[in-house]
A and B are shown apart, each in its own frame.
Chain A
Amino acid sequence: MKKAFVAALLIITAIPLLIGVAALPPHGETTAPVHTHISARYLMRGAEEAGADNIVTGVLLNYRGLDTAGEVTVIFTALVAGLAVLITRRKEPGAKADSAARGDVPAPPPVSPVVSFVVQLLAPFIALFAVYVILNGHVTPGGGFQGGAILGALFIALTIVLGEGRTRSLMPRLALPWMQGAALISFVVVGVLGAGLTGYFLGFPAEASLHLVRELMMLVLEAGIGLGGAAIFATLFLQMEAE
């Protein structure tokens, strides 16, 4: 019964998707609407309309901001799903805590002093680079997603080198949920601000006099995506390490 239901659901979902795919213009056709209308508009007027010299950022945050808001929702949902699976497995009887107490699990090998030194030496520079990538995304390639990945990787490297105890303090218990949801929260804040200014959710004011407000809105989005991404990386890593 359950299987039949799942199969029916899959088929019902698949049919409109397949019809949609069949109706798409042939791949690579130069007269397809995407090449004659949208891309041309983005390339011609993206910098002035979206307020970002980097067209990718302009498209991501401004033209298709709602789409990106959906994306960060997906990432956040993935974190929730991952944590749900990991935490349940952790509570199973005979988990690692028991076996570690009996001494079955060998202690992790000590961290190489060379690796430890180099990671600690480079850490401030990597952190600076991550912030640069996040904040400079509207001018040069980069942005919140990329910078957040760098920041998350830095956290993971530091956790391996310094141990969980010392890096946990970077993610205080009270602030952690806000950090994990930072991307979503920033989209809601900027979206509502945009609604107040332009009448549309996630609308960006186009007036030249408000260009600073527009840039500030983009920076808030980038910072939120970066911080949120890094916190999600770090949380998943810590949870998996605890396995």
Chain B
Amino acid sequence: MISTADIRDATTVVLAAFGALFFLVGTIGLLRLPDFYARTHAATKCDTVGAGSLLIALAVFNGLDASTGKIIALAGLVLLSSPTTGHALARAAHRTGLAPWHAEKGRTP
């Protein structure tokens, strides 16, 4: 028999694993991508989707109470602030004249 608790646990595992996967990919990207723009892109994806989905996993696991409200608020904050940070970083770099990396220039990452 599949109980409600099983569905809750399964949802938690799936969301948490998804978040962890995003963090893994994002970290690899941060280390391996060729230039500032691409690395910013990788790093902010971790914070947005990775942390967001981990937090939602925690909220699902915790059930309905005051702590869940706090977790949801945190998830909302992360979903707002990380993309903004990424945008501000990339915009500042672009305005100060940092050229993006191009493969055809023959530079190796």
**Contact yes or no, B87 A115, CB < 8 A:** yes
Q: Which size bracket describes the interface of A in this complex?
A: under 10
**Contact yes or no, A121 B91, CB < 8 A:** no
Using a CB-CB cutoff of 8 Å, which residues 190-234 of chain A contact chain B?
none
- Fill in one digit per residue for A119-163: 1 if any B CB lies within 8 Å of its CB, else 0: 101100100000000000000000000000000000000000000
Q: How far is the CB of A111 from chain B (nearest CB, A)?
A: 9
- Fill in one digit per residue for B60-95: 1 if any A CB lies within 8 Å of its CB, else 0: 000000000000000001001100100110010001
**Contact yes or no, B81 A115, CB < 8 A:** no
A118 is an interface residue with CB less than 8 A from chain B = yes
**Contact yes or no, B77 A122, CB < 8 A:** yes
Residues in B whose Cβ lies below 8 Å from that of A6: none
Q: How far is the CB of B77 from chain A (nearest CB, A)?
A: 7
A22 is an interface residue with CB less than 8 A from chain B = no
Residues in B whose Cβ lies below 8 Å from that of A122: 77, 80-81
**Contact yes or no, B88 A121, CB < 8 A:** no
Q: How far is the CB of B95 from chain A (nearest CB, A)?
A: 5
A169 is an interface residue with CB less than 8 A from chain B = no
Contact of A115 among B77, B88, B95 (CB under 8 A): B88
Residues in A whose Cβ lies below 8 Å from that of B81: 118, 122
CA distance A118 to B81 in the complex (A): 8
Q: How far is the CB of B68 from chain A (nearest CB, A)?
A: 18
Q: How far is the CB of A86 from chain B (nearest CB, A)?
A: 24
**Contact yes or no, B80 A112, CB < 8 A:** no
CA distance A82 to B87 in the complex (A): 33
Q: Which residue of B lies closest to A110 (CB)?
A: B95
A109 is an interface residue with CB less than 8 A from chain B = yes
**Contact yes or no, A112 B77, CB < 8 A:** no
**Contact yes or no, B87 A114, CB < 8 A:** yes
**Contact yes or no, A118 B95, CB < 8 A:** no
Residues in A whose Cβ lies below 8 Å from that of B77: 122, 125
14 contacts between A and B (CB under 8 A): A109-B95, A112-B87, A112-B91, A114-B84, A114-B87, A115-B84, A115-B87, A115-B91, A118-B84, A119-B84, A121-B80, A122-B77, A122-B80, A122-B81
16 extra A-B contacts, CB within 8 A, seeds A118-B80, A122-B80: A112-B87, A112-B88, A112-B91, A114-B87, A114-B88, A115-B84, A115-B87, A115-B88, A115-B91, A118-B81, A118-B84, A119-B84, A121-B80, A122-B77, A122-B81, A125-B77
